[in-house]
Amino acid sequence: KMALFRSLVQSGRSVVSVTLRREFHRTSPASLQVTVRDALNQAMDEELERDERVFLLGEEVAQYDGAYKVSRGLWKKYGDKRIIDTPITEMGFAGIAVGAAMAGLRPICEFMTFNFSMQAIDQVINSAAKTYYMSSGIQPVSIVFRGPNGAAAGVAAQHSQCFAAWYGHCPGLKVLSPWNAEDAKGLLKSAIRDDNPVVFLENEMMYSVPFEMSEEAQSKDFLIPIGKAKIERQGSNVTLVSHSRYVGHCLEAAAVLAKEGIECEVINLRSIRPLDMETVENSVKKTSHLVTVEGGWPQFGVGAEVCARIMEGPAFNYLDAPASRVTGVDIPMPYAKILEDHSVPQIKDIIFAVKKTLNV
């Protein structure tokens, strides 16, 4: 009898524990791990569902699910009218997209990489960026140009440049450069809803990287305002300003420097045009030191613009040392792996620049 009683109690316990386990797994987690690729996919899916004027076109975006699988599943869900495979002619399909935007649709024009956007740069700059101004505000061009930007790995000179400064130079465009999954989702949704042409610079090396996505960011109403930088890490000794992939490098450098008693404030620009100089200035007033970090070339780059604006603005008088830049090397990207590594900023380069600026 005792043996039977024990077995009944134990089986009861196991039922209770299984029930509890099931209940535990059923509750939705506060934050999820989401890759940048999936965040971009979610953003497009939600906006395609929300607004029937939104459509996606580009090379391999439909039946192949995208060259980098960013548009995975969208063609199956929305069909040929909304997800359109184009021939390999950037000038042609960018022109079709701009014309569609002028007619009142909201195209997302994907370049397989932004290096190929040079084939279509006349459409982006002359047709999309200038029309609203030239029409005295009568003709908006609501379009998003998106795709991977900057150096990837082993793709050499013609497939490795960063276009943040190229497009950031041009009035009439908005230029966004997300780093993590929340940036990618919130900024892409804002870009699609914006009435201006937006250049949306992703990074191939970030697509598969998972990030925590908060409960708020999982909502279909989650938007990140265009033109607002984010302080990713608070610090008091030096301000690090970066965008895209190199925000992660800055955070890793900051973690190393913190062990040596140097506290870095890391700013993720997110938006290249408009540039949130208020956030940068307030940080520089606090830290009195500035280092900019980017993967693009040094001459007339994003860092050069940030440094110039600091010099012209109220924060200049707070600097205790000259601002310094960490950039890609001023050469076409080499193919050899070891040379490629020396051509883009590494964490050690950021640490060296910080120590040099602080004179330690």
Active site (catalytic) residues? 90, 159
Q: How far is CA 301 from the centre of its chain?
A: 17
In three-state form (DSSP H/G/I as H, E/B as E, the rest C), the secondary structure along 235-257 is CCCEEEEECCCHHHHHHHHHHHH
The whole-angstrom separation of Cα 121 and Cα 70 is 23
**What does the block give as tokens for 297?**
């070339």
Pairwise CA distance, residues 304 & 320, whole Å: 18
- Rounded to the nearest 5 percent, the helix, strand and coil shares of the chain are 45, 15, 40
Record the tokens describing residue 179, joined without a space. Answer: 């780093």
E strand or H helix at 231: strand 230-233
d(CA 65, CA 61): 5
Write out the two tokens for 181.
Answer: 């999954």
Give the Å distances, CA to CA, from 243 to 28, 51, 88, 150, 261. Answer: 32, 30, 30, 11, 25
Which residue type sits at 159?
H
Helix axes 181-193, 36-50, angle to 10 degrees: 30
- Classify strands 230-233 and 264-268 as parallel, antiparallel or unpaired: antiparallel
For residue 15, how many other CB atoms are within 10 A of its CB? 10
Cα within 13 Å of Cα(178), Cβ side: 33
Token digits of residue 67: 């060259």
Per DSSP, the residues of 211-227 read EEE-TGGGSTT----TT
DSSP state of 209: -
CB 160 within 8 A of CB 151: yes
